[in-house]
Amino acid sequence: MPMTFAEPSSVALPIVLVSPDACEDTLSSLPDEQAEWAAFHDFKGQIGRALVLPGPSAVLIGTGTERDRARKRFAIGAAIAALPEATYKIDALPDGQAEEIALGFLLSRYRFDRYRAQSGPKARLVAPDGVDATRLESIAAAEALTRDLINTPAEDMGPDALEAAVRDLAVAFGAEMRTIEGAALLEQNFPLIHTVGRAAATAPRLIEVTWGSEGPTLTLVGKGVCFDTGGLNLKPGASMGIMKKDMGGAANVLGLARMIMDSGRKVQLRVLIPAVENNVAGNAFRPGDIYTARNGLSVEINNTDAEGRLVLADALAFASEAAPDLLICMATLTGAARVAVGPDIAPFYTDDETLAAALSAAGARIADPVWRLPFHDAYEPMIEPGIADLDNAPSGGMAGSITAALFLRRFAPVPRFAHIDIYGWQRANAPARPKGGVGQGIRALFDALPEVL
């Protein structure tokens, strides 16, 4: 279903946005019949509440209070998308809400229909005045790409299929692409990527995309574990059920890359995706094994279910060799991040104060919540097992997201590095965010880029 706005139309039905404190005045300005209709339906400007006035002559949609909007982001846009089939327009938008309302409408049009036909919203919205319609449509398309990749089960989204999806994106925007696969990973010094993926039926690989020939250098690294059984430290069934989403970091950096390429921004973009499946076979890597990463650090494996940081280690080391101006890593990395901040918020780590401030402000501004957690140096000894340089899964169960971030930082010796520990999954239907795969942090990153690069 196209996630686009309607063409301007003289017959578009007007939408009147009504806040609770202005509701009485708005209703008193209506003809008596319509005011009585609104009163009969108990319309009081509740957030996301839509009421078609008789005629139909207009639609009232409640904007709720500021607190309501913070608790139910995109609710107004979702209410517009749920209206009866017609073309609609908004004549006046509240200050600071225009983009969220318009984007909420677009995102509410998303349907994952690869395996079952689904009817979507029939309402059409003319792009409101004051918003960059082309930019919002591009963001919505990038979010749809991210959701589609995550929602696709591993049978159809293994490392080879993920590579094909990346190739489609590269071709669409004239980007260059190469893949290092199977035994070639060992020959070209990507030992940890090979180790994690060697037990799967589909060979592990490192996918690289480059785009743009001028401007600052930006490298995006995304965890592409297409399915995570936990390896020999096998996950229980309840934990394995949505592990098709463990390539959510890859899906998110591809969504962000699409936004950047579609914007035509002058930047030298590089995307690296270690694509593997963490599976069980006679050649699976084992707890207690020690491997040497691309950058020469030895890593003791104390849990094969902490595999994401291993494949990212080689990719980050490779990325750092080119000394990019900014290096960003995204991964569905730890359950500890969910314990700390829940499924909605994407915690991020960086030592760069300018980047931290810009990303935090952008997340709040555009309803893409992120929260900074610390690279706490005092925890460094927790990732040093003694028998090797690093431990991939420190015992004790404390500060799991922080110690994972510290582990990754050892492979990213560049001045400007950020790691985002996303969930990538919407657990229940919410406005503009149906249950399933979801983008996290990429709109905030895209919005912050002009300030930091």
Domain ranges of the chain: 13-109, 137-452
Angle at 302 between CA 297 and CA 308, to 5 degrees: 70
Instruction: Give the residue from 159, 275, 181, 254 showing the smallest Cα distance to 211.
Output: 254
Task: Return the closest-CA partner of residue 223 out of 159, 299, 168, 154.
Answer: 159
Distance CA 16, CA 262 (A): 33
Strands annotated E in 212-267: 217-222, 224-228
**Per-residue pLDDT band at 55 (split at 50, 70, 90):** confident
- What is the helix (H) or strand (E) element at residue 180, kind and residue range? strand 176-181
Domains 13-109 and 137-452 share a fold: no
Using the structure block, give the residue that is written with the tokens 């090979």: 194
Q: Is residue 347 within a helix (H) or strand (E), and if so which, with residue range? A: strand 346-350
Q: State mean pLDDT over 142-154.
A: 98
Taking residues 378-388, what's their average pLDDT?
Answer: 97
Burial class of residue 240, CB neighbours in 10 A (0-12, 13-18, 19+): middle
- Identify the active-site residue in 309, 410, 433, 443: 309
Q: Are 304 and 285 in contact (CB under 8 A)?
A: yes
Residue 142 has pLDDT above 90, yes or no: yes
pLDDT over 80 at 302, yes or no: yes
421 CA to centre of own chain: 10
Q: Is the pLDDT of residue 275 over 90?
A: yes
DSSP conformational letter for 430: B
245 among known catalytic residues: no
What is the predicted pLDDT for the residue at 2?
82
Taking the C-alpha atoms of residue 217 and residue 420, their distance in angstroms, rounded to an integer, is 19
Q: For the chain, give the number of residues.
A: 453
Write the Ramachandran bin of 165: left for phi over 0, alpha for psi from -120 to 50, otherwise beta. alpha
Say which CATH architecture domain 13-109 belongs to: 3-Layer(aba) Sandwich (3.40)
- Architecture of the domain made up of 137-452: 3-Layer(aba) Sandwich (3.40)
**Does residue 95 surpass a pLDDT of 80?**
no
At 327, the pLDDT band (50, 70, 90 cuts) reads very high
Q: Could you give the 3-state DSSP secondary structure of residue 444?
A: helix
Tell me the mean pLDDT in the region 41-45: 97
Q: State the pLDDT confidence band at 304, using cuts at 50, 70 and 90.
A: very high
The SS3 call for residue 326 is strand
Picking from 211, 176, 225, the residue whose alpha carbon sits closest to that of residue 330 is 225
In the predicted model, what is the mean pLDDT of residues 180-209? 98
Instruction: Give the tokens for residue 321.
Output: 């060799």
Strand blocks (E) in 163-255: 176-181, 205-211, 217-222, 224-228
**Residue of 72, 111, 235, 365 with catalytic role:** 235
Query: Does residue 235 carry a catalytic annotation?
Result: yes
